[in-house]
Structure 1
Amino acid sequence: MSDIERNRIEELAMKYAVQNAMKYGKARVEPVMAKIMAELPEYKGKASEIKRIVEQIVERVNNMEKSDLEDIISKLGVTLERKKPEGERKWPELKNAQLGLVVTRVAPEPNGYPTLGHAKGLLVPFIYARIYKGKFLLRFEDTNPRVERKEFYDAIREEFKAILEGAERELGLSPGIWDEEIIESNYLLHMYSLAEKLIEQGDAYVCTCDARKVRKLRAEGIECEHRRNSIERNMELWHEMINGGIPEGEAHLRLKTDMNHPNRTMRDPGIFRIVEAEHPIQGKKYRVYPTYDFSISVMDSLTGVTHAFRSKEFEPHVEVQRTILEKLNLRKYEMIQFGRVTVEGVPLSKRYIRPLIESGILQGWDDPRIPTLRGLFRRGITPEAISRFFYDLGPSKVDSTISMDAIAAYNRKILDPIVPRYMFVPDPVRAVIENFPEGLKAKVQVHPSRQDMGYREIEISVKKGIATLYISSEDKKVLKEGDTIRLRGLSTATVRSIMPDEISLKHISERKESEKVIQWVPADQAVPVKVIKPLSPYSISIVGGFGEPAMKELRPGDRIQLIRYGFARVDSLDRTINLIFSHE
């Protein structure tokens, strides 16, 4: 990086760090980096070098007095951002909540990649924690080793972090990260001791009925013979479960409640079972694991959660969980349900998505046709758009079906002011321009309403007064001989003749008001582009064409707008620029 470039980066870093510090009290590296990279996408290859500069500037700014920051504001002409009011929309007050004392959590099971539904489960407790200036926990509910894998822990961390950082940038909720990470399986020995307490109190017993019999007896409200086991016998069987004396599926620990309870979930629910599978973190250390009802109720109490949010499908389990807390004399907390999210025409459940991947219909969990978070990110949907969408949706208890069009509308508002525009010619046909002057260059705006983003110049090769371009076949269809058109950013021309595979134009010097504006790319500098459009979980369309020369500088991950076509994200580069179409 040259001295001139470094000075430019330092000035931007100082500007945005001061902005961030004045808005939130302390500057943070991530939002400063995000603003610089959005303003200077051409520096993406130097991100690590830029980050080191930003870290130094942020540290310096955070050590400054307010008067020093105000001097910099005056010197650099920094515009201060207004912090968005927190919780001002549809977010009702929490019951029994005190400012600074609220603790919420998200408790994902690491059994797959997060989806759009998980984003709501993440954002609702996070937003409330930040509204009440409390604490937010990420707790991995990893007590079913048969379906859990190490890669899922990492995916959840990475994708949840992206969403929360987006929430900080878009909603002004800081810090955009969880305050503590907890691995639930690290608490198994403590949960064992609580299980033994229940056995000793006569509140739990080991049942060796098979699963089919248990379901039948619970449905009929009939007690099984093991309910009358002595405490000593239950403790003996419990230790056999732990030590390997009983095979998987042949025993489980059940909570003793009321087998005639009107809520069937409350009829002696299972609270521990044997799972003979290696755990991704604990290995083969354990073979007995708690059920959801036991682990979530106990862990929320032990980790200080004051308000536990969960999808309303678990509402019948609330009574079970409160009963467990009562019998163990553990601290109680508020249990709050919110509505589930489904996406119109697209499966969210892993049990629907997994077969599509295994059959080869989908490429993987990051396929842009499905609403996994990684699929959405690959498609060009921003964390900011997802955060804003769920903030506006609110924590309603009503189930909601959302459309990808609604997500696209939010994403468009985020991208439209910041992404560069490029000319793209799908399904191209040759356009030959006669009478074209030597040395005439095109001047194309990078962004129609952002003068600060500048212009791109495109040189046109001219041989004997003839220039050769490509235009789209759709534009060709609407033209007729004698039409006057404007080649975007370049010149005016009249249509001389139209053939099946070529159009003949003639350059004219004057510019007329009624002309049609046509996109084009120079034939000798045309960049091959392939646009992949997700249509449904089962289908895509692929559109080929040419892009303007500057598209050669694009890198994977860049978000752009193809003029008159739509927003897209650069997916990969080979001999072709491969784009994933985001939306119009």
Structure 2
Amino acid sequence: MSEEKSLNFIEEIIEEDLRKGNYKEIVTRFPPEPNGYLHLGHASSICLNFGLTKKYPGYTNLRFDDTNPTTEETEYVDSIKEDVKWLGFEWKNERYASDYFDTMYDYAVSLIKKGLAYVDDSTSEEIAAMKGTPTEHGKESSYRNRSIEENLDLFDQMKQGAFPDGSRTLRAKIDMAHVNMLMRDPVLYRIKHAHHHRTGDKWCIYPMYDMAHGQSDSIEQVTHSICTLEFVPHRELYDWLIEKLEIYPSHQYEFARRNINYTVTSKRKLLQLVNERYVTSWDDPRMPTISGLRRRGYTPESIRDFCDRIGVAKRENMVDVGLLEFCVREHLNKIALRRMVVFDPVKIIITDYPEGQLEMVPSEDNPEDENKTYRDIPFSREIYIEREDFMEDPPKKFFRLAPGQMVRLKSAYVIKCDEVIKDDLGNIIALHCTHIPNSKTGEANANIKVKGTLHWVSILHAVPVEIRLYDRLFKVEDPSSEEGDFKEYINPDSLQIIKTAYAEPALKTSKFNDRYQFLRKGYFMLDKDTSEEGLIFNRTVTLKDTWAKESKKD
């Protein structure tokens, strides 16, 4: 009997709320800012917010926090929607903070009328200096005691575009001696004459995060507003604004961000990687973006499994990216079609196999699949094997091909190497071998004992393909914490390209969502750069964790 999974602390809160009848249904939201592409950290938040309303009665909204027009683009909105859907989730309502700009403006006016907000002419530097320190009280602005009428007039002029950027702000009037520095008269609105991707030029004042976030939650009647730990200090202001505005009391709960080794997830740093051409694009398969993982061949199931395994906690920690790789191996092993591809070929001529003869040998598509399916692979007199699978002078425990040594060709015959053919410079150009008739599976000589089985392709039927071998983008565990520029720690071997490998002909019909295990090589998926000129495959992950071996050496 399987052990029931224990609840995380947010699930415990929700179950208690439902038990007490605080809510008939729960409402969560996923609120990304559309200023970049989503990454693995966002995947955790997506799985948490949407997962809760799959488990409990209720629904999740997708809400874009689009209050900063200078960094936000429709391209990012579209990519975010695609990523959430690809991960397997559906939102009930698509919302934007900009949907509520009129309401937020009215809320700000309400605070002014209650004597709880004022227009400040101080510069951002002056406001920062007034804040004080954690051990010293802040200083009140000389504009703090303006009359309500003057504040209403100035705020209206701000809205009408009468003042330049940065010349005035609207601040909450709370307490400049507050122990929480965020409560020391925080800025609620700033002037920004910038074109907005949805509202155009209607507004030249925009709410700050704290003015927009809790109020948007309240308008949507979000019951459980789930944030990461850096928003703990913001919760007091979140609650203060809801209380003073007398609006629906949404509640904020915080969970720990999960940092992942050998990568960075800061949008600013990811943007640097793209703009400075360390990677080709936001969806470069080395990027920790969801679109990059998708292009590399990760499955939504494997990412959801990863998010489930790392769980939800109250303390931050570093997660090993090896766990993500384990999750995708586990899933791909079950679903990936097995295919044979030779990366670095050496030619074999089976001298006793009739010239011009062709036979089709059946081979299993996936031994893990209960519904067994097979494809036929062409076998002929001349084939390619991997160059590394042959040694002219092998060590004792080399069980692949060598002079006088026998191996089995996967799904085909047992062969023996008789002669090595070299050019004038001593380079191996071909191997002459003989085969043992009737040594295929199910035939009379099938039980001949050999210690090695090799993959291969028929030269006459081989399909040239390009292979892109992707690896971790950084060569150190925590590039952000190292001295100097994080980009100094980029792994120079994060991408290796094999321009011409040779594949069995079944790969000619590959589709973009097909997943493959190239036998003995790893898991692969067709890349979007594929064209009529040729097929291009990305390595999703190796068959085993090669980094674990390297770390043991160190």
If the TM-score is normalised by the length of the shorter chain, which range does it land in?
Answer: 0.7 to 0.9
Aligned match of 2:449 = 513
Q: In the TM superposition, what whole-angstrom CA distance separates every residue of 1:354-384 from its partner, at most 9, and x where no partner exists?
A: 1221122211000000110000000111111
Question: Any idea what the Cα deviations from partners look like across 1:11-67, whole Å, max 9, x if unmatched?
Answer: xxxxxxxxxxxxxxxxxxxxxxxxxxxxxxxxxxxxxxxxxxxxxxxxxxxxxxxxx
Alignment correspondent of 1:293: 210
**Contact 2:63 2:96 (8 Å CA) reproduced:** yes
Per the TM alignment, residue 576 of structure 1 is displaced from its structure 2 partner at its CA by 3.1
What TM-score, normalized to structure 2?
0.84
Alignment partners' CA distance in 2, 1:229 and 1:325: 24
Check the 8 A contact 1:556/1:570 in 2, yes or no.
Answer: yes
Q: How does 1:192-211 map to 2 (within 5 A)?
A: 192-211=105-124
- Shifted more, 541-550 versus 241-250: the winner is 541-550
Q: 1:198 is paired with a residue of what secondary structure? A: helix
**SS of match in other structure, 1:233:** helix
Partner of 2:383: 469
Once residues 132 and 418 of structure 1 are traced to their aligned partners in structure 2, the CA distance between those partners, rounded to angstroms, is 30
Contact 1:556 1:573 in 2 (8 A): no
Would you say 1:532 and 2:468 are equivalent positions?
yes
Secondary structure of 1:398's counterpart equals coil
Structure 1 residue 257 corresponds to structure 2 residue 174 = yes
Give the number of the structure whose residues are more often helix, by fraction. Answer: 1
Q: Tell me what 1:455 maps to.
A: 374
Alignment of 1:407-446 (within 5 A): 407-437=324-354, 438-446=357-365
Which runs of structure 2 are paired with 1:27-46 in the superposition (5 Å)? none
CA distance, structure 1, for counterparts of residue 220 and residue 451 of structure 2: 68
Structure 2 residue runs of 5 or longer lacking an equivalent are 392-399, 422-427, 438-444, 474-489, 544-554
CA displacement, residues 435-474 of structure 1 (integer Å, 9 cap, x when unaligned): 115454322211124363422222334xxxxx11000011
- Is residue 33 of structure 2 the alignment partner of residue 109 of structure 1? yes
Matched ranges for 1:362-373 at <5 A: 362-373=279-290
Q: Displacement, 1:513?
A: 2.0
CA contact (8 A) 1:555 1:573 kept: no
The structure-2 alpha-carbon separation of the partners of 1:102 and 1:451, relative to structure 1 and needing over 3 Å to count, comes to: closer
Aligned to 2:502: 546
Per the alignment, residue 243 of structure 1 pairs with 160
Q: TM-score, normalised by structure 1?
A: 0.80
User: Per the alignment, in what secondary structure is the counterpart of residue 199 of structure 1?
Assistant: helix
Q: Percent identity?
A: 33
Partner of residue 488, structure 1 = 410
Question: Secondary structure of the residue that 1:97 maps to in structure 2?
Answer: helix
CA–CA separation in structure 1 for the residues paired with 2:273 and 2:94: 32
Asked if residue 272 in structure 1 is aligned to residue 189 in structure 2, the reply is yes
**Quick one: distance in 2 between partners of 1:427 and 1:137?**
50
Gaps of 5+ in 1: 1-83, 166-175, 462-466
Cα RMSD (Å): 1.9
Please say if residues 410 and 453 of structure 2, whose CA atoms lie closer than 8 Å, have aligned partners that are also in contact.
yes
1:262 Cα deviation (Å)? Answer: 1.4
2:378·2:461 contact (CA, 8 Å) conserved in 1?
Answer: no
Residue pairs, 1:332-371, within 5 angstroms: 332-371=249-288
From the superposition, tell whether residues 257 and 87 of structure 1 become closer, same or farther in structure 2 (CA, over 3 Å): farther
1:119 match: 43
Conserved 8 A contact 1:527-1:546? yes
**How many residues in Structure 1 have an aligned counterpart in Structure 2?**
485
1:93-104 correspondence to structure 2 within 5 Å: 93-95=12-14, 96-98=16-18, 100-104=24-28
Question: Using the alignment, how far apart are the partners of 2:370 and 2:229 within structure 1?
Answer: 49
2:436 maps to a residue whose letter is I
Partner Cα distance (1:100, 1:434) in 2: 77
Separation (CA, whole Å) in 2 of partners of 1:545 and 1:414:
26
Question: 1:398 is matched with which residue: 290, 315, 318?
Answer: 315
Counterpart CA distance in 2 for 1:336 and 1:522 is: 60
Describe the shift of the 1:136–1:307 C-alpha distance in structure 2 as closer, same or farther (beyond 3 A). same
CA distance in 1, matches of 2:246, 2:209: 19
Moved more, 406-415 or 432-441: 432-441
Counterpart amino acid of 1:260? Answer: A
